[in-house]
Amino acid sequence: MMWHRRLCHMSKRGLEILAKGNLLPRLKEVDLPLCEHCVISKQHRLKFARVTTKSKYILDLIHSDVWESSVLSLGGAKYFVSFINDYSRRLWV
């Protein structure tokens, strides 16, 4: 499960290919139990309303979101924040 999570919930087949090529340390056999996150992400959701307006100036409108990771980063962080400039669509994390 550790490599499944670290590789953004890669499929069992993908993990098997990497394991067969000895590209993942200490992974010899792939046995993935049911992953709740994978099941939830495959559920259909309603789309957001389509917005046709766009800001006219850089940094006029910023979209932001806070994300929680199920695995701690090497620095011990569990959350990260994303910022998207509406005008340029530039992303900062």
pLDDT confidence of residue 5? 86
User: Which amino acid, residue 85?
Assistant: N
What are 18-60's pLDDT values in tens digits?
Answer: 988 888 888 888 888 888 888 887 777 778 788 777 899 999 9
pTM above 0.85, yes or no: no
DSSP state string for 47-84? PPPPP----SSTTSSEEEEEEE-SS--TT---EEEEEE
